[in-house]
Structure 1
Amino acid sequence: MTANVAAEQAGRTRPGPVVQPEQMGDDPTIPTLTELLSQRAQDSPEREFLRFGEWSWNFAEIDAWSSRLAHRMIEVDGIQPGDRVAIMLPNVVHWPLVWLAALKAGAVAVPINSSYRRADLDFVLRDSGARVVFTDAERSGLVADVTAAEAGLADVRVVDVADDGSEHYPDTAPAVPVDAATLANLQYTSGTTGFPKACMLTHDYWVRLGWICAAATGLGPGDVLLTAQPFSYMDPQWNTALALTVGAPLVVLPRFSASTFMADVRRHRATFCYVLGSMPTLLFKQPPAPEDRDNDLRLVFCSGIPVGLHAQLEERWGAPWREVYGMTESGIDLFSPFDDTGAVGSGSLGHPVPTKRIRVVDPDGTDVPDGEPGELIITGTPMMNGYWNRPDDTARTLREGWLHTGDLAVRRPDGGIQLVGRIKDMVRRGGENVASVEVEAALERDDRVVAAVVVAEPDEILGEEIKAFVQLAAGVPADRATAEGIVERAGKELARFKVPRYIEFVADFPRTPSERVSKPALKARAKDDPGVTYDLGARRNSTASHTASGAGSLDVDVIRGVAVLTFQRPDKLNALDVATRLRLAAAIRGFGTGERVRGIVLTGAGRAFSAGEDLQNAPSTDAEVRAAVESFHDITRAILETQVPVVAAVNGLAVGGASEITLCCDTRIGTPATEYYQPENIRGLTISNASSVLLRRLVGNHAMRMILGSPRIRADEALRIGLLDEIVEPGELVGRAIDTVIEWTPEGSTTALHLALLRPQAAEIEAAFAREDRAASTAWESGALSAGIERYWSARGNRA
């Protein structure tokens, strides 16, 4: 072991490529990882191989240490060829050491994510049948607890790598036969859809992957490789195979950090690295620095690079970035050569490596024409042997020798391949297919956005709606104005049906070990611990309606798992026209099933909760009167039919029909500014929300005075007579309403059953509707309604 001094690399001369580009399709000259290590220890024993932090190990040191540990595995742990050896470690030198030692013992390595907890760990140990787990002090207790708690894991040995006990064993490898076809890894996929599956990967898989990447990059012993991903994922492992192939050092960072990554690249004088997923975007979002181009990078491989940032990334750090495509199942499949400058910003993944063939097919397996989307399927080497213990999954994925990737792709006119999304990562919105990746790319081109993730949100009308989880740049407020601005900008690039309806701001994203966002985990987190979600479709829809017919607006947000419906027409005191009332009833029904939210809060914007009928667009025919009254009835039905609590957060003046809407709610919370006003009688109107039942049910004989005398009922009196159940300060109103919903819906509660018992019965409400309909018709036919409206406008004109 030697201390690493970065300055030692300053004078390094750079020999030529170890594998020439024209050799890419050849079989590797050395067939196994263990032989590769042995060869490097012979021809370059003192050359640096692995660098972790300030410490480095040369090829000879790692070869000897891994040989000693392999002997220990055989003699102490009883490991035999084919046995599984699990590795549960963070990015420390013991990770590749144990991997290479296990392979020398003829064992099969089982990488385990070091952040796994009990359930995940239990699954992998059981599924793999691991005989021993190499871990550290931080995780050994968890591993021991899991193995002790389950009878089937009682014989699993736990080894703390801090004291592996290998120092007294021989420095030469055990005499265990290993060839290219020997199984090397059970490499578990990231598990984005349920429990992960283990890909069976051979020595040939890893050696061939290193060989092809060496030919594609032209790397040699004078280069320095750098990786920052968890070693349990395949990327640091193929980087290790690449380092063994070309005889170059591999620098392993503890983790990826966007703020320090390029400083580490400079400090270690790295000439090559691989970044994927959100890493390029997160790097670019870092503030530019004068020293950005002060680095030794010659080549960067990347996957999922934002098309719009490609040229800027190259310009900023002064090195070519090229796309490479592959999967755990297949290693490397496609790449863009570094001399292909036309690939920059094109979105192309390039062409297949010489050992692979690709097709783009429809669901029947027929090749689709160029330019049309289909599933990308692949055959050739390297390739997994199949999924461990999963014959059915293997048969579905590997069909007649072709790997079905699940990726949607198009073949470009130049023969290159461009991804357009995942088959299962599409939003089916009203008959239109929307690729999440396209919407994510449009959102991420906004300077306010660090990263965006798009998922499908169930919708009763369209089937699915588009929801975007957005991580904002530092200093950008997570408010409705920002959400609207981001969506407005994206809408200039996307077809209208592709524009997200819902925006939820998040601080970060749950990720797989490969640094890809785990959308199932993200959706589960949003369900269990929801953030503030802005429903921008409500405003878009109502704005369009307002242009055509003067309709009002209703904003819909989801906060802490509660739907907050806000009357958004303060210039009209939130007067409710028919369009707004219909939308309100639909929103209440949509959320009222309890499948998406715990409850509903109704509130208003400005100084008024809301008014009733918009008298500026008052009914002018008997049919319009009937439609107006029926729309109020429908709101009442919608509220009383919900399976969740409905709370009225009465922020100010509640007039007429809007006042009556609060009577249907399960509780009413107000502020000192809350005021109830029922002017129907003096305007020739009639009550219309089954108030003939609901009002008397709440306030008893006070109902007569409220309706016939039409006084203004201030907050204190409303609390006294039962119109309000609580008064809070204005700034606490919506929060208190949300708290009430949460208090009333504890886990495992029978809230829905109690709501049905406590609310008025449907027959009673429908009888009230019938009486009110007759009264409304009489008022219309007598002319009292029209006269009352005229008096209203005359009084407003005189005041003006």
Structure 2
Amino acid sequence: MTIAADRLGEDPSTPTLTALLAERAAQSPDGEFLRFGDRSWTFGEIDAWTSRLAHRLIETDGVEPGDRVAVMLPNVVQWPVVWLAALKAGAVAVPVNAKYQQADLAFVLKDSGARLVFTDHDHLRLVHGVANPGAVRVVDIADDGSARFPASAPDVAVAADTLANLQYTSGTTGFPKACMLTHDYWVRNGWLCAASTGLGPDDVLLTAQPFSYMDPLWNVAVALTVGAPLAVLPRFSASGFFADVRRHGATFFYVLGSMPTLLLKQPPDPSDRDNSVRMVLCSGIPADLHAALEERWGAPWREVYGMTESGFDLVSSFADPAAVGSGSLGRPVPTKQVRVVAPDGTEVPAGERGELTVKGKPMMTGYWNRPEDTARVLRDGWLHTGDVVVRGDDGEIRIVGRIKDMVRRGGENIASAEVEAALERDPAVVAAAVVAEPDDLMGEEVKAFVQLADGLAAGRSTADSIVQRAGTQLARFKVPRYVEFVDDFPRTPSERVAKPALKERADPGAVYDFGPSRGQSLPDLRVDITRDVAVVTLSRPEKLNALTVATRRRLASLIREFGTGRKARGIVLTGEGRAFSAGEDLGAAPACYDEVKTAFETFHDITRAILETRVPVVAAVNGLAVGGASEITLCCDTRIGTPATEYYQPENRRGLTISNATSVLLPRLVRGRAIRMVLGAHRMDAEEALRIGLLDEIVEPDELVDRAVETVLDWTPPTNTTATHLALLRPRPAEIEEAFAREDLAAREAWESGVYRAGIQSFWTEKGAPAAPDRIDAARG
């Protein structure tokens, strides 16, 4: 029968799957129900077969209500037959992925407490090797032993709230959990799909997912609800899918995950529109491919959202053409409520990101043997989905990522799904999977596994082209640093990429790294990506962020990495604690002139790195900036301070020389006051620095970095000539190199005269602490 759309919110007229099958067999016993390959079975035939098998379960195997019956089979007709027979016996079905090996199977059998396993010849040895012979019976479907039993259903009481399935989740991380699903769960999903689509007895449903997953099971419920046949494919094959659609005369199917993208990547065929499809439901329609999917196969596609835990939650209306390409998940079905919440559980306003939570029917009753997991996910009846969404002003909900499927790069959360979508828009890419790659500096980096289109070579140049094109769509910090090509992806039964298996596979390929050589990671430098701006923090507060040679080298490398404009819109340099930096770390005094030269060169290199960037570099001067550190801020395009900012250049009093082109940069900023700052070692507070132009702005400490980031964003609008202006406004390279040469000569003279060593010794004397004797003695030598 056809369920009118205005009945979507009603309770199903028949409360259990077993009663629904009996009702359909009584009304249309000769109506086609299940089709596998070239064979089909009617409602009457399946009703009789499942009744006989249910009697066998009770009378031969001793199955009692509530006992668990496992099913480990590929997509064959015995799968739904065993399922429905177990339900008629009052048992609980335990679907088992037919691809499981020993450890996975052993876990499911033990966790579920299954008394019986139905399997086939291909899996018999595995099941016998795992099942406890004294506790678990194994039945080969080649002879299920049901023929001699009566075709009438056994007298077993089954109600809407009777447990029907322990439905194990896909288990993409660790061992899976079993959702406890009742008869009402399945019947209600069938009712909701039927009412949402207007399917009727003249339709033909088709499914290609494994029966161990929930989709074919709710398709069975839909077929029982409307009295239509369900054609079942052995597996999903993108290249042969629409040939099967045409062969079976399918009018409706459901796909999810990467399926729509894989289908659209197939070469166009003149017979593409030669099909009977009236409508398609899909979870995760790529928004930018939506129109192309409809145009190519001539049928409307609409989004449906749900989980194993909750079944149908949201659906897009087939009557709404605005849904095409909108990326919307649709609206809640009438039996569901949804909220978008912050981590503290409070509801967020429209336009802000939050976790989608769902309440209502259908819904699992909890996780089997997992009370803590149940309490974590189901709170006051609200299911916390783990999906990050945004609710629009129109009430439509759009998904932006998974809480757990994220890359935490620096200070930014990157949704893997967003990067994957951008990569899969590339004609060179068939499919992509993005994972987090651990990184000492950034915490995590973005790594993309890519399946290439036929005929393309898997090499660095291809990877570079893909990354470059992705960079035109994504913020710089979201662009993959690593690319690895794969021939195919390991997948879960729900056709999602099994990312742990992908990362841990035994035969990894070449990985192409599009980041700079990182060298040794240092704990005294930290990088956070904030709103597409690289915030580089000197993080050695116990030493006032004093700079070693290694730190300066790393700092120059980072400035070059983020200064190209590809990974960030700009750079902010700041310090942690009460100092921006105390400058040169004199606790590591040079012991020879080569070490002095190296120290100077690393300061010079920071200057070059800053002045060569194509993006603005802002100094967020949080406190004391001494010597070489204050000189670093001079290289920046602007300096923003706080009331605690203080500049101090003590080099002249210690017999040291300026080493970062201060002779050029400081006079450009403060004119005649440069002499006083350098030769007089004048300590300058924030107000004075602001008055003479050394600082451009003073803000409160808690606003400093945000203001610096805002400055970068203000100076780099979407279309800009910032890089050209920076090159015009900054000092000429030749002028800087000439200053470096003079400073290097002065440094050598200071070293050879002994003034340099005396300056270092005076520093330790002022500190009231002994100098590092080994280093000073070596210097004297």
TM-score interval, normalised by the smaller of the two chains? 0.5 to 0.7
Match of 1:332 in 2: 312
User: Which aligned pairs between 1:311-330 and structure 2 lie closer than 5 A?
Assistant: 311-330=291-310
DSSP-derived class of the 1:194 partner:
coil
Q: Which amino acid aligns with 2:107?
A: F
> Partner of 1:263: helix, strand, or coil?
helix
Match of 2:168 among 185, 188, 192: 188
Hey, what's the Cα distance between the residues in 2 that align with 1:207 and 1:539?
Answer: 58
Which residue identity lines up with residue 122 of structure 1 in the other structure?
A
User: CA–CA distance in 2 between the matches of 1:116 and 1:465?
Assistant: 31
Question: 1 CA distance for matches of 2:125 and 2:478?
Answer: 49
Aligned to 2:516, what secondary structure does the other structure show?
helix
Q: Deviations over 1:315-363 (max 9, x none)?
A: 0000000000000000000000111110100100110000000000001
| 1:79 counterpart residue number | 63
In the alignment, which residue of structure 2 is the partner of 1:452?
432
Distance 1:626 1:354, change over 3 A: closer
Q: Are positions 1:208 and 2:191 aligned together?
A: no
Q: Which residue in 1 is equivalent to 2:454?
A: 474
Q: Which residue of 1 aligns with 2:356?
A: 376
Question: Could you say which residue in structure 1 is the equivalent of 2:33?
Answer: 49
8 Å Cα contact 2:553/2:602 also seen in 1:
no
- In the TM superposition, what is the alpha-carbon distance from 1:436 to its structure 2 partner? 1.1
- The 5 A counterparts of 1:688-767 are none
Question: What secondary structure does 2:131 align onto?
Answer: helix
Greater alpha carbon shift after TM alignment, 510-519 vs 403-412: 510-519
1:502 aligns with 2:486: no
Partner of 1:61: 45
- What one-letter code is carried by the residue in structure 1 that aligns with 2:509? G
Amino acid aligned to 1:529: D
User: In structure 1, how many angstroms separate the alpha carbons of the residues matched to 2:286 and 2:250?
Assistant: 23
Asked whether the equivalents of residues 204 and 230 of structure 2 are also in contact (C-alpha less than 8 Å), the reply is yes
Q: What is the distance in 2 between the residues matched to 1:581 and 1:319? A: 56
Aligned-pair CA distance for 1:623: 4.6
CA offset at residue 530 of structure 1?
Answer: 2.1
Contact 2:340 2:389 in 1 (8 A): yes
* Aligned residue runs from structure 1 range 212-231, under 5 A: 212-231=192-211
Indicate whether 1:118 and 2:102 are aligned.
yes
Alpha carbons of structure 1 residues 536 and 64: separation in structure 2 relative to 1, 3 Å: same
Task: Describe the shift of the 1:626–1:401 C-alpha distance in structure 2 as closer, same or farther (beyond 3 A).
Answer: closer
Give the match for residue 512 of structure 1.
492
1:332 match: secondary structure: strand
Equivalent position of 1:530 in the other structure = 508
Gaps (5+ residues) in structure 1?
A: 1-16, 542-577, 588-619, 632-775, 783-800
Deviation at 1:70, TM superposition (A): 0.4
Structure 2: distance between partners of 1:629 and 1:101: 77
Number of aligned residue pairs: 548
Cα distance in 2 for residues equivalent to 1:485 and 1:438: 19
SS in 1 for 2:52: helix
For residue 408 of structure 2, what is the amino acid of its counterpart? R
Structure 1 residue 154: Cα displacement = 3.1
Q: Deviations over 1:99-152 (max 9, x none)?
A: 00000000000000001000000000000000000000110111001124xxxx
**Structure 1 residue 133 corresponds to structure 2 residue 117:** yes
- State which drifts further: 504-513 or 171-180: 504-513
| Counterpart Cα distance in 2 of 1:580 and 1:34 | 69
Would the alpha carbon gap of residues 114 and 621 (structure 1) be closer, same or farther in structure 2, given more than 3 Å must change? Answer: closer
What's the CA shift for 1:306? 1.1
Amino acid corresponding to residue 415 of structure 1 in structure 2: G
Say whether the 8 Å CA contact 1:622–1:777 is kept in structure 2: no
1:227 alignment partner AA: T
Find the counterpart in structure 2 of residue 493 from structure 1.
Answer: 473
Distance 1:403 1:622, change over 3 A: closer
1: CA distance, partners of 2:82 / 2:595: 84
1:562-593 CA distance string (max 9 Å, x none): xxxxxxxxxxxxxxxx9799869x99xxxxxx
CA–CA distance in structure 2, aligned partners of residues 130 and 622 of structure 1: 72
Cα distance 1:254–1:441, how it changes in 2: closer, same or farther (>3 A)? same
Distance verdict in 2 for CA 1:581–1:86, change over 3 Å? same
The equivalences for 1:394-405 within 5 A come to 394-405=374-385
Residues 219-298 of structure 1 correspond to what in structure 2 (within 5 A)?
219-298=199-278
Q: Relative to structure 1, is the Cα distance of residues 582 and 413 closer, same or farther in structure 2, using a 3 angstrom cutoff?
A: closer
Q: Deviations over 1:636-684 (max 9, x none)?
A: xxxxxxxxxxxxxxxxxxxxxxxxxxxxxxxxxxxxxxxxxxxxxxxxx
Counterpart for residue 83 of structure 2: 99
Q: Secondary structure at 1:326's aligned position in 2?
A: strand
Report the counterpart of residue 735 of structure 1 in structure 2: none
Distance 1:629 1:280, change over 3 A: closer
SS at match of 2:6: helix
C-alpha distance in 1 between matches for 2:238 and 2:498: 19
Q: Does 1:352 align with 2:332?
A: yes
Structure 2 runs not aligned, ≥5 long: 520-551, 562-592, 605-746, 754-781
Is the CA contact (8 Å cut-off) linking 2:313 and 2:332 kept in structure 1? yes
Q: Tell whether the 8 Å contact from 1:180 to 1:204 is kept in structure 2 after alignment.
A: yes
Task: Give per-residue Cα distances to partners, 1:433-462, cap 9 Å, x unaligned.
Answer: 111111111111000001111111111111
Distance in 2 of aligned mates of 1:629 and 1:27: 74
Offset at residue 540 of structure 1 (A): 12
Letter aligned with residue 54 of structure 1: D
Find the residue that maps to 2:312 and give its secondary structure.
Answer: coil
1:390 matched to 2:370: yes
**Partners of 1:183 and 1:202 within 8 A in 2:** yes
